[in-house]
Each structure stands twice: as structure tokens, then as C-alpha cells.
Amino acid sequence: NGSILSYHDIELDEISRISTNTTPASFLTRPNISFSSKDVQITNIQKDDNFIKISLLKKNRKDAGEFSLIFKNSPLEFVKMEVKNDLGQIVSVTLNNIDMKSSIPNKFFVIKDNNF
């Protein structure tokens, strides 16, 4: 939601909020996404017949982890993202049936916390 990333940890039953600038995922919240941005370092590019995987770090936040974007080759389509944290754990988000023409209301990006 804007510059804040909120997530609900079901196991701990708690909601956490952090600035998107502290995560590699902030790359996706920019008005213009570019792999040649001055604060982005591409760490790896893998390509096969079906997919392209581009991994990157934010230069000023390397400790935040590595972020990977996976694209289907033909036609070129963004299908998955992965975040690898400093413990080597990978969080993977796969996108299906993407509708780029419709907008999503901002209210869908807000986690309500009953403790506030």
C-alpha cells in the first residue's frame, strides 16, 4: 500500500509493516521499472527455451536479499517473482491469469489490524 509493505504472519498471528524501500520488492513499486537503474545490480540472468530469470539486488540494501523476476519467453510475460533472504530462504509468488487492463482498488492492498 504505497510505500508500506504489510504482511500477516498466520503462525504468529501478527501483522508486520515495513517500508518498501527496505525490501528488494521496491523495484516493482516504481513508476518506471528499469534494469539499468543506478541503485540496481543484476546478479544473474538465466535463460532456457521457456523462461528468463533475472536476479538483482538493491545496491544500497544488499542485506535485504536477492530479488528474481521470471518471465515466460513466448510471448514475453511476467509470471513469477522470488525473494531470497539473508538466510537463503526463498519466498515465491506465482502469477496466473494476469489482467493488465483492469485496475485493482487500493482497498485490496490494506491489511486491517484490529489492535489499532
Render pLDDT for 35-89 as a digit per residue (tens, 0 to 9): 888 888 899 999 999 999 999 988 877 777 788 999 999 888 889 989 887 778 8
Residue 114: per-residue pLDDT: 64
How many CB atoms neighbour CB 64 within 10 A? 19
Q: Which amino acid makes up residue 72?
A: K
Cα 101 to Cα 116: distance, rounded to the nearest angstrom = 35
The more confident residue out of 52 and 93 is 52
Task: Give the percent of the chain with pLDDT over 90.
Answer: 19
pLDDT exceeds cutoff 80 at 96 = yes
Query: For residue 96, how far is the Cα from the chain centroid?
Result: 15
Is residue 115 within 8 A of residue 17, CB to CB? The reply is no
Q: Which phi and psi angles does 30 have, rounded to 5°?
A: -75, 150
pLDDT exceeds cutoff 90 at 2 = no
Average pLDDT across the chain, whole number: 82
Residue 89: per-residue pLDDT: 85
